[in-house]
Structure 1
Amino acid sequence: MRIVWSPLAVDRASEIAGYIAQDNPTAAENWVNAVFAQVGRLKSFPDRGRVVSEINNDSFRELIYGNYRIIYRIEEKQVSILTIRHGKQILPVDEILG
């Protein structure tokens, strides 16, 4: 399986890292590295995340990393990383299905 990051997911990861870096640049770098490590494991185990409750479709799953939800879709030959959201934020479904 190949991993493909959507522009939205890249933007969200960058925004979150930027926010963390305001207080602690090292923590921001560690956060980004950990997120990429979590996502990298999906190459071998794409089903490891739980189904996104707002969508209730087995193709749309999420990994929980700290306070964040990494939302992704399992496709035939790839895993598409769709977005990253704080767990307390409402997930706009149209952002994913859009």
Structure 2
Amino acid sequence: MGARRRRIVWSEGARRELDEAVSYIAEDSIASAIRILEQILGSAESLGTLGERGRVVPERGDPSIRELLVDPFRLLYHLRDSDIVILGILHQRRTYERWPRRSS
């Protein structure tokens, strides 16, 4: 029997942060922007069957709030029973405490 697949849901804040990050990178290199966009989208999609693979966000300590590192970003997500909510895209140089919290 295969692994259960969860639905991936992007919060509005996460969509906005992804757009902002890709636009910023594209100012210097379209190719780099496309590469990071593909990496982030691919990583998010993989969470549908491998949601537990991300580490617990150290600043939260809540096992349902996790992250994947997609250099140079942190893909923050909420692991729920039936779906995974992408909460945000945070640059690794930015502290979690200064990141605006998104509701899931």
* TM-score interval, normalised by the smaller of the two chains: over 0.9
Residue 79 of structure 2 corresponds to residue 74 of structure 1: yes
Q: In 2, Cα distance between the equivalents of 1:45 and 1:26? A: 28
SS in 1 for 2:27: helix
Of 5, 12, 35, 1:7 maps to 12
Root-mean-square deviation (CA), in Å?
1.5
Equivalent residue number for residue 23 of structure 1: 28
Tell me, yes or no, if the aligned pair for 2:87 and 2:103 is still in contact at 8 Å.
no
Runs of 4+ in 1 over 3 A off after TM superposition: none
* Residue type of the alignment partner of 1:49: G
SS at match of 1:47: helix
Q: 1:91 to 1:30 in 2, by over 3 A?
A: same
Any residues of structure 2 matched to 1:1-98 within 5 Å, and which?
A: 1-92=6-97, 95-96=101-102
Structure ranking higher in helix proportion: 1
Pairs aligned (count): 98
Distance 1:30 1:78 in 2: 26
Among all aligned residue pairs of Structure 1 and Structure 2, give the percentage whose two residues are the same amino acid: 30
Structure 1, unpaired ranges of 5+? none
- Between 1:49-58 and 1:87-96, the stretch displaced more is 87-96
